[in-house]
Amino acid sequence: MKNYKRALRRYHRQRMLAKARKIAQTKLLCADPEDQERWALRNYDNLCDCSCWMCGNARKHWGPTIQELKNDGF
């Protein structure tokens, strides 16, 4: 049986790079393509805009979720 972990990791890297390039084109409109590519390569693995209470992890701001509380028996 062949191990596909490396192939899956490469696939996800290419997918996230494409997404980062698309975001760089829309956010960095005045920058030249070299700056956009540099930004995409630097930020492809973390594309979250911010970590505020609307964009960030709910558990960080309000504690366990309702589903987690139900699962624990509360």
Q: What is the 3-state secondary structure (H, E, C) of 2-70?
A: CCCHHHHHHHHHHHHHHHHHHHHHHHCCCCCHHHHHHHHHHHCCCCCCCCCCCCCCHHHHHCCCHHHHH
Q: What is the pLDDT along the chain (74 residues), one digit of tens a residue?
A: 678 999 999 999 999 999 999 989 988 777 788 999 999 999 999 887 677 878 778 888 888 888 888 998 86
Q: pTM to 2 decimals?
A: 0.63
